[in-house]
Amino acid sequence: MSPGPSHDVLVVGNYCHDLLKLGPGRETHALGGSAAYISAVLDAVGVDYAVAAVAGEDFRYADRVRHPPRILPGTRTTQFIAELGSGERVLRVSARAEPLRPEDITVDARVALACGVMGELLPETLVRVSERARHVVADAQGLLRTLDGEGRVLNVPLAQTPYAALLERIHVLKASEDEARAMDVEQVRRRTCLVITRGAQGCTVLTADERIDVPAVPVEEVDPTGAGDCFLAGFALGLLRGLPLARCAELANGFGAQAVTQVGVPMLDLSALPAALR
């Protein structure tokens, strides 16, 4: 494999169209996808990064992203419909983009974020990412998500996916509490560092040897969309800086907390972070 350009961070995952239903008669269209939220964090910090993403010819936010996706003619961009008004987020998918393939991974990086949103991160693509990056930080949503007959997002057990055999290629796996219920936590933590996000209770870092509970930053939640993505970006930044896992989790919690206070891709305020983490 010939070497490509090298970056501090490589983001691997698609941009999306989000339709946010905030309550009766209240809805808004927005740029979405893990790549968009993670890019907001990386842009705020000023990190050198690249994005590997594809979208359909209907993608409407090319002028809003620093690293536009590769447009595939004749295809559609992934669209999520998020119903938020009931107090619990319900996700549906009304369109799916094409997957990211190994040949889409053309650069090297110190840290790669494998952040698929709806099945676009193929197992062979994850292998390629692990070959091009020193550390891989992955989001469990990209490994577990499937759809029911009505387009609602569900999680399949990790053990039933091809990604279960690839855990050693992942240095940090981030999972929500729902996603963690779809895996054997004790088995996973023996094979990789597992970070479970717990909303207002913060997060738990699990390795083969230790458990670290890190409290959340108290904020008033407006929209949880993208909070996990900003958390993931913060954790990756901590690794990039060589911080210990507990400090990586503190940084991740800080960015995740800022994300939930805004609707859509957030404007991030570094001054709101503890001085030691800026």
* Global pTM exceeds 0.85: yes
Respond yes or no: is residue 213 known to be catalytic.
no
Radius of gyration of the chain (CA): 17
Kindly name the residue from 18, 108, 223, 229 that is annotated as catalytic. Answer: 229
- In a 13 Å sphere around the CA of 82, the CA atoms on its Cβ side amount to 24
Could you give the strand order of the β-sheet that contains 26-32, starting from the edge strand earlier in sequence? Answer: 26-32, 16-23, 79-83, 90-95
Q: Are 106 and 6 in contact, with CB atoms under 8 Å apart?
A: no
Query: What pLDDT digit, counting tens, does each position of 216-236 carry?
Result: 988 888 878 889 999 999 999
Query: What pLDDT digit, counting tens, does each position of 245-261 carry?
Result: 999 999 999 999 999 88
Query: What pLDDT digit, counting tens, does each position of 146-200 carry?
Result: 999 889 999 999 999 999 999 999 999 999 999 999 999 999 999 999 999 999 8
Per-residue model confidence (pLDDT) at position 5: 75
> Scanning the structure block, which residue is given the tokens 């907001």?
40
Q: Are 69 and 57 in contact, with CB atoms under 8 Å apart?
A: no
Tell me which H or E stretch contains 231: helix 227-240
Tell me which H or E stretch contains 128: helix 123-132
Compute the average pLDDT of residues 116-140.
Answer: 97
Q: Which CATH number fits domain 7-267: 1.20.1250.20, 2.60.40.10, 3.30.300.30, 3.40.1190.20?
A: 3.40.1190.20
